[in-house]
Structure 1
């Protein structure tokens, strides 16, 4: 196995576990420099070190073998929602997570035809609707709504809409180390566009939807642009605002004075938070900066009142990703795919596959309760 060792897999596994080279080195009994050489491919680990690496990084030994499709990506290829708050270490961890999501998608797509990629500006898309979208954010949002046949009203199920257009959307659980301090991010640098909506926004469906629209903006506006520019973040916000609340549709519904009752009605109909609507009022010249400032202060005071509390995404099925889990279910029913077979193909542990698919382990849990005699014997020897 040492001769077929894939150095990139070691980097991926280490980043997924959020471990430094020094930490890995201490666990397997070598120097940090040696681990660095394994990752660059300068040298290969000795055969006896492979099992130690597998234990340290919680992967099967076969994980390190060459030959499997690898969604190679680095942090310069993804747009991060809160770039300044995200350390390079966490960005590396996040993109390794995305690489695994693509590998899982690729494995499923060999068995199931996923929705065709219909995303202007994405060079790998199967559907090319002619010219590219305008570069100005609001104009791009309006044109995308037109091409997707959305009309001028509210977008009811944004995440499901994105998935239906071939965009892979995932929302890792809150306990997943990969997204602990990462907000949200997206990339067009893999064979399918991919958006990660992290759990720190799942307590508020309106914020969740705006984040999804923001990442969609990055996909259509900045597909081939190096991420990290604050201007790009502002453009993605402008895209999201116009995509979710088109100016000519929303302006007649917004008040020209602060009216929270009216704003909450618009929030429920359009799926956009009162906070975002207040900002939209300022953008459209309906409220002054001073009025908006006072409105935000009052809104903060009302945050625990009925109608102003956060609504979790769990109550909105159309805003929860299902593409990968449903693809797996279809592969099981039509192609006889098993969880064990998929895990073996990916060289992952079955628990990791279930985690990324969001599929619970339905096996009954065996719980052994010691008899009274065993308990007494244990106490006697304690």
Structure 2
């Protein structure tokens, strides 16, 4: 919460100089979503948001960019140096603009990154400021993410009726989700038994260990790297507002502003042996 409050201070300072996209999250008013704006069922909620954003039932090629275009602030920052690398992401509705904070620390993999972003979107839509970490709420957010990324009414007819890694890989690239999540989807919609799915997971782990299935770093996919806040700062700079002046306005050091924007600390690390 301390981090998001600082991030909001930066967003608020930037908005004095640059007009960001309006928040397009149905029912969002004054730091919360009005009751009844979304169904409580995760599947129905994901379908409702897709409809509200005009996404139809097609793959979403640039999920994070789509989220930012709806006025939701997203940032991608490493937290390992702060010893909270166990966190994939977190989000909040409590401020006047929704915020999603993503981190590449635990798994710098594009498919996990996209699913995590959709998972946090589910929390924003369904759970507001309910305490995070509740297993039931996490399962609901997972169901929302799966439906938002791969609508069941479409993906059901595309999934193979038996384990076919070639076909699953094609669907993985088309829909921007991992093969493992598609195997889970097969089981979820009744196309595979639990035993068959377990065997598939074992084989996927073996293929990963052999390097046949390689992770793809998030930073290779510009549409999945947040850019809203950074571009706003760049636009402000074009109009005479500098990182230094923003830092002075916030009573921060310029390095803190850059860190909040996700810039890596390029200073060499001193190691004593």
What is the TM-score of this pair, normalised by structure 1? 0.66
Measured at CA, do residues 190 and 321 of structure 1 come closer, stay the same or move farther in structure 2, by a change above 3 Å? same
Alpha carbons 1:202, 1:313 under 8 Å: kept:
no
Cα drift, residue 175 of structure 1: 4.7
What residue is the counterpart of 1:145 in the other structure?
A: 50
Which of 320, 337, 340 is 2:241 aligned to?
337
Q: State the match for 1:350 in structure 2.
A: 254
Residue 70 of structure 2 is matched in structure 1 by 165
Query: What is the CA distance between 1:122 and its match in structure 2?
Result: 2.5
The structure-2 alpha-carbon separation of the partners of 1:123 and 1:312, relative to structure 1 and needing over 3 Å to count, comes to same
CA 361–332 in structure 1, closer or farther in 2 if over 3 Å, else same? farther
- RMSD (Å) for aligned C-alpha atoms: 2.3
Alignment check: 8 A CA contact 1:332 1:338 kept: yes
1: CA distance, partners of 2:204 / 2:9: 44
The one of the two structures with greater contact order (alpha-carbon pairs below 8 A, sep at least 6) is: 2
Alpha-carbon distance, 1:99 to partner: 1.1
Aligned length, in residue pairs: 267
Q: For residue 29 of structure 1, what is the aligned residue in structure 2?
A: none
Question: 2:122 aligned with 1:217, yes or no?
Answer: yes
Q: Does 1:318 align with 2:230?
A: no
Q: 2:63·2:223 contact (CA, 8 Å) conserved in 1?
A: yes
Rounded to whole Å, the distance in 1 between the matches of 2:114 and 2:17 is: 30
User: How far 1:121 sits from its partner (Å)?
Assistant: 4.0
Counterpart Cα distance in 2 of 1:112 and 1:352: 20
- Residues 153-200 of structure 1 deviation map (CA, whole Å, 9 limit, x = unaligned): 101100011111111111113554164332311111111111111122
**Structure 1 residue 134: Cα displacement:** 1.0
Taking structure 1 as reference, are residues 306 and 275 closer, same or farther at Cα in structure 2, changes over 3 Å only?
same
Counterpart-to-counterpart distance in 2, 1:155 and 1:174: 27
Structure 2 distance, partners of 1:179, 1:201, is 10
Partners of 1:264 and 1:307 within 8 A in 2: no
Tell me the SS of whatever aligns to 2:105.
helix
**Superposition pairs of residues 171-190 of structure 1, within 5 angstroms:** 171-173=76-78, 175-177=80-82, 179-190=84-95
The residue correspondences of 1:272-291 to structure 2 (distance < 5 A) are: 272-291=177-196
2:14 corresponds to which of 104, 108, 115: 108
CA drift at 1:311: 0.7
Gaps of 5+ in 2: 268-273
**When the two structures are superposed, what TM-score results if normalisation uses the length of structure 2?**
0.91
Q: In structure 2, the residue corresponding to 1:170 is in which secondary structure?
A: strand
Q: 1:264 to 1:131 in 2, by over 3 A?
A: same
Counterpart check, 1:197 vs 2:197: no
Deviates more, 1:294-303 or 1:181-190: 181-190
Q: In terms of Rg, which structure is larger?
A: 1
Q: Is the 8 A contact 1:142 1:242 kept in 2?
A: yes
- Are 2:40 and 1:120 aligned? no
Contact 2:73 2:99 in 1 (8 A): yes
Alignment of 1:227-376 (within 5 A): 227-305=132-210, 308-334=213-239, 336-359=240-263
Contact 1:267–1:273, Cα closer than 8 Å, also in 2: yes
Structure 1 counterpart SS, 2:168: helix
Partner secondary structure for residue 160 of structure 2: coil
Q: Report if aligned partners of 1:169, 1:197 keep a CA contact under 8 Å in 2.
A: yes
